[in-house]
């Protein structure tokens, strides 16, 4: 007679419950993006596609989204360029205070955001820099830089120096070696780091709140609007971002699976 094993079902049941618990806010956001609300979006008033078709009927929502996209793009570009150069330097070169630089890179990742945001706000205030676009971008670059360096650094460490030496043996100058060999090999890591930096910048609220001044980003707009009920148009944008992220993951996984099948067939 088979014995009933509780442990056999504990992990699957716990995993399903945890997944459902995490998906509740997302499901709520998607459902209420179809709510035919007027002043408040806290109670269900009927199903409609109007909020999806006229998402920019609330210009403040689209303005906040545009601000977040611009800030995220600029911060990501700067952090990716600086982080990639720093990652290559930390892996390929030996210099004084190298260990100290490695340690300092983890400080923004380990420091609570409220501490980092308040510290940067005090720094900008003492330097006489008014809060706005510039302070937000500087703050976002500072905390995104560490994540970019860590991600790209892991990719640099896996590169085989023999490939670059082969390029130099074929009379390629340093610029040609970098752009023809090193950069293409680093590109997957750089793209991953850029996507991570953009998601962190787009999603950030605490550091942005301390250093934004009159500039309203999408997370800041959601925070202010939450007191009277987040409008359905904001739910539409949030749902669109979530769906876009899922599509990116699915496309990446499908492309990876197709490439693996092709490699197996060719071998």
* Domains in the chain with CATH codes: 27-57 (no CATH), 59-229 (1.10.3720.10)
Q: Report residue 259's pLDDT band, with 50, 70 and 90 as the boundaries.
A: confident
Contact (CB, 8 A) for 27 and 8: no
How many CB atoms sit inside 10 A of residue 123's CB? Answer: 14
Helix, strand or coil, per DSSP, at residue 47? strand
Tens-digit pLDDT profile for residues 117-152 = 888 888 888 888 888 899 999 999 988 999 999 999
Check residue 80 and give its pLDDT: 94
Pick left, alpha or beta for residue 201 (phi over 0 → left; psi -120 to 50 → alpha; otherwise beta): alpha
Q: Report residue 73's pLDDT band, with 50, 70 and 90 as the boundaries.
A: very high
Check residue 267 and give its pLDDT: 66
Residues 6+ apart with CB under 8 A from 263: none
Q: Is the pLDDT of residue 100 over 90?
A: no
Tens-digit pLDDT profile for residues 3-51 = 556 667 788 888 889 988 988 888 888 888 888 877 677 778 888 888 8
Query: What phi and psi values does residue 35 have, to the nearest 5 degrees?
Result: -80, 130
Check residue 34 and give its pLDDT: 85
Residue 198: which of 52, 119, 100, 83 has the closest Cα?
83
Tens-digit pLDDT profile for residues 175-233 = 888 888 888 888 888 998 999 899 899 888 889 989 988 888 988 888 887 766 677 78
What 8-state DSSP symbol labels residue 229? -
Q: Is the pLDDT of residue 168 over 70?
A: yes
Check residue 248 and give its pLDDT: 84
Between 237 and 74, whose confidence is greater?
Answer: 74
What 8-state DSSP symbol labels residue 57? G
CA 245 centroid distance within chain: 10
171-179: long-range contacts (C-beta < 8 A, 24 or more apart)?
none
Q: CA-CA distance, 108 to 123, in Å (whole number)?
A: 15
Q: CA-CA distance, 106 to 91, in Å (whole number)?
A: 16
Check residue 8 and give its pLDDT: 73
How many CB atoms sit inside 10 A of residue 212's CB? Answer: 22
Instruction: Please report, to the nearest 10 degrees, the dihedral formed by the alpha carbons of residues 111, 78, 99, 93 taken in order.
Output: 170
Check residue 1 and give its pLDDT: 47
Check residue 3 and give its pLDDT: 56
Strands (E), 7-127: none
Query: What phi and psi values does residue 110 have, to the nearest 5 degrees?
Result: -90, -20
Q: Helices (DSSP H) in 93-231: which residue ranges?
A: 98-110, 113-126, 133-157, 161-169, 174-177, 183-203, 206-211, 218-225
Name the residue with tokens 């998601």. Answer: 199
Check residue 224 and give its pLDDT: 80
pTM of the full structure: 0.81
Q: Report residue 74's pLDDT band, with 50, 70 and 90 as the boundaries.
A: very high
Check residue 78 and give its pLDDT: 95
């Amino acid at each position: 007679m088979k014995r009933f094993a509780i442990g056999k079902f504990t992990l699957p049941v716990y995993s399903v419950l945890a997944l459902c618990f995490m998906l509740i806010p997302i499901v709520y956001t998607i459902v209420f993006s179809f709510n035919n609300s007027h002043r408040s979006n806290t109670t269900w008033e009927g199903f409609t596609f109007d909020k999806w078709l006229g998402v920019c009927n609330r210009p403040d929502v689209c303005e906040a989204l545009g601000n977040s996209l611009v800030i995220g793009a600029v911060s990501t570009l700067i952090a990716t360029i600086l982080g990639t150069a720093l990652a290559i330097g930390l892996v390929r070169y030996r210099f004084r205070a190298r260990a100290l630089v490695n340690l300092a890179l983890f400080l923004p990742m380990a420091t609570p955001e409220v501490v980092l945001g308040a510290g940067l706000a005090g720094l900008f205030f003492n330097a006489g820099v008014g809060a706005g676009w510039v302070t937000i971008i500087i703050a976002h670059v500072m905390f995104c830089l560490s994540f970019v360096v860590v991600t790209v650094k892991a990719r640099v460490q896996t590169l085989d120096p023999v490939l670059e030496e082969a390029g130099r043996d074929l009379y390629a100058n340093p610029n040609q070696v970098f752009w023809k060999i090193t950069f293409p090999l680093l590109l997957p890591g750089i793209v991953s780091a850029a996507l991570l930096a953009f998601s962190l910048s787009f999603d950030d609220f605490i550091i942005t709140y301390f250093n934004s001044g009159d500039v309203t980003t999408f997370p800041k707009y959601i925070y202010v609007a939450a007191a009277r009920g987040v409008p359905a148009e904001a739910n539409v944008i949030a749902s669109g971002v979530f769906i876009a992220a899922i599509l990116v993951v699915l496309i990446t996984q499908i492309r990876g699976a197709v490439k693996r099948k092709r490699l197996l067939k060719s071998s």
